[in-house]
Amino acid sequence: MTERPRVTLLGAGEIRRLAEELDLRPTKTLGQNFVLDGNTVRRIVAAADLRSTEHVLEVGPGLGSLTLALLDTVGAVTAVEIDPRLADLLPRTVAEHAPTRRTALQVIAADAMTVTADRLVLPEEVAAPAEPTALVANLPYNVAVPVLLHLLAEVPTLRRVLVMVQAEVADRLAAEPGSKVYGAPSAKVAWYGVARRAGSISRNVFWPVPGVDSALVSVDVHRHPRTDDRAATFAVVDAAFAQRRKTLRAALTGWAGSSAFAQEICERADVDPGARGETLRIDDFTRIADAMKAVDRGEQE
């Protein structure tokens, strides 16, 4: 097999030059913080543990640092970029720094929260899986959790995830039940797979320098999709964590209609109604949702 030519990554000077060319002033609104350090970019790709045939979905490629490193490693990249200037620039940057890989890039100018799976399919001539098999991204801090959950729900072909997020968000996503930071995001991500913290990233490798440090989170997506009712389960999760310090009996009162019925549903699900949401695993929330559905079916018969 012919070895693929190495891709030239962007240096700090070139990143600033490209930004100046676009008259780009990174904004907090779009969560624009660009990674300047090539070693950090390579480290992110290595941590993702990607196969050479992978079709990677990248959200917020920015000026293309991570995109280039991904194209140096995998079969194809679909990059979703909300800023039209950056979306227009990315193919030119790839053509200049990775000319043999330019056809392996697909750019979608859109808000990731509006993207559906059918928009992510590659053209037939690209030698990679048609649909994304991995998500690797430096997610904007202000929308990291909603974007991650949206894509996990929308793209069932994903098998591995590695995202860079604010350090405290990483702690929440990877938290286990009983932890002080375990919450609704932790439980919801656990629906899709096993989340782990995969390393820390210093704020000093970014431009502009953010006020917080970042961290990597990996998600090993379940090979066999769950068949339970996700919406019903997530409704229970939201209710349980809306009043974090309350017992399930109290926290689920609004969801169930009364505290007595909330207690009955928990007991039917073999979950202690005196427990708090932060002690429950995702399977516990699912059993509560299923118990409510069973009662509803019984009333309809």
Which residues are bridge partners to 160 per DSSP? 134, 220
pLDDT 10s digits, 5-23: 678 888 888 988 898 888 8
Is residue 21 domain-resident?
yes
Q: Are strands 214-221 and 206-207 parallel, antiparallel or unpaired?
A: unpaired
Question: Is 35 annotated as ligand-binding?
Answer: yes
Residue 301 — very low, low, confident or very high, per pLDDT cuts 50/70/90? very low
Verify that 250 and 137 share a domain, yes or no: no
Q: Across residues 153-175, what is the average pLDDT?
A: 97
For residue 284, CA distances in Å to 155, 167, 261, 269, 290 come to 25, 27, 17, 8, 10
Question: Residue 146 pLDDT more than 80?
Answer: yes
Q: Is 185 helix (H, G, I), strand (E, B) or coil?
A: helix
User: Would you say residue 40 lies in a domain?
Assistant: yes
Task: Give the global pTM.
Answer: 0.92
13 is in an annotated binding site: no
pLDDT tens readout for residues 234-288: 999 999 999 888 999 999 999 999 999 999 999 999 999 999 999 999 999 999 9
Structure tokens at 276: 């708090």
Q: Which of 35-39, 144-148, 269-273 has the lowest mean pLDDT?
A: 35-39
Whether 160 and 288 map to the same domain: the answer is: no
Spatial contact of 134 and 55, defined as CB atoms under 8 Å apart: yes
User: 33 a known binding residue?
Assistant: yes
206 & 283 share domain: no
142 annotated as belonging to a binding site for a ligand: no
Q: Among residues of the chain, what percentage have pLDDT more than 70?
A: 95
Tell me the pLDDT band of 183, cut-offs 50, 70 and 90. Answer: very high
Residue range 209-213: mean pLDDT, rounded: 88
The tens digit of pLDDT for each residue in 195-207 reads: 999 999 999 999 8
pLDDT in tens, 46-60: 999 999 999 999 999
Shared domain check, 78 and 174: yes
Residue 2 lies in a domain: no
Q: Which domain holds residue 276?
A: 230-300
Residues 6+ apart with CB under 8 A from 221: 152, 158, 159, 160, 161, 192, 193
Question: How many Cα atoms sit within 13 Å of 9 on the Cβ side?
Answer: 19
96 annotated to bind ligand: no
The answer to the question of whether 39 is labelled as a binding residue is no
Cis, peptide link before residue 208, omega less than 30° from 0: yes
CATH number of 169's domain: 3.40.50.150
Verify that 84 and 101 share a domain, yes or no. yes
Helix, strand, or coil here: 30?
A: coil
